[in-house]
Amino acid sequence: MVPVDTTPDTRVLEALNAASSSARLQAALAMGTHADPAHVEALVARCAIEPNFFVRDMLTWALTRLPARLTVPRLCAELRSERAQARSQALHTLSKIGDVRAYPAVTRSLLRDADDEVARSAWRAAVVLAPDEERDALAAELASQLGRGGRDVALSLSRALVTLGDVVEPVLRAAMASTDPAVRAHARATALLRRDPDGGFDAAVDEAKRIVALGPEPAEGAGC
């Protein structure tokens, strides 16, 4: 059996670290087009420091083109990085690969990460990767973050909860009874978004704030 050459192409590696974002984009495209397992380490390492969104997106695409048995363990290891971007991009890439074996690596600390971008990536990855038997527990964990952050963070969390489906109903009902008005409003906006996805998040938030400001509703009106 002829041994497989695992030596990375030095030219494409040099281009991946070029000063020009266009050169880096072309390098990532080439690495995805000609998927080579020898490039896993370089692609993951570049994800951690790449400043350009479009290049990061191409890096993720290149990683999805490689065998999950090689990429998933390396990306899971990256979730322990001290660099927020490394954690966030690894989570994003794992969500695109979609290998449910990665789910245990999406830990509670990542779902509650102090960095909003990491937490948002963790929420998106978790709802994609969670097996059926973990979805109730995940819904409860995500609901613990209701009331967090500004519009974009709140919308990411609401979308993640909506993606989980009917399992979120009990946790949303409980959150609507919170003593924290921000939690109540966010929970109600998420429930409204579930009922009417086309209505828009901002309209749901405005409606939820109005209802919370008016005070408690009769018990029969609290459903999701």
pLDDT confidence tier of residue 195, bands split at 50, 70 and 90:
confident
At 30-88, the pLDDT tens digits run 999 999 999 999 999 999 999 999 999 999 999 999 999 999 999 999 999 999 999 99
One-character DSSP codes across 34-94: T--GGGHHHHHHHHTT---HHHHHHHHHHHHTS-HHHHHHHHHHHTT-SSHHHHHHHHHHH
Quick one: pLDDT at residue 202?
Answer: 73
> Quick one: pLDDT at residue 211?
67
Closest CA to 175 of 150, 145, 210: 145
- Work out the mean pLDDT of the chain and round it to a whole number: 90
Query: Domains (ranges, CATH) in the chain?
Result: 10-129 (1.25.10.10), 133-224 (no CATH)
Count the helix, strand and coil residues of the chain and give each as a percent rounded to the nearest 5: 75, 0, 25
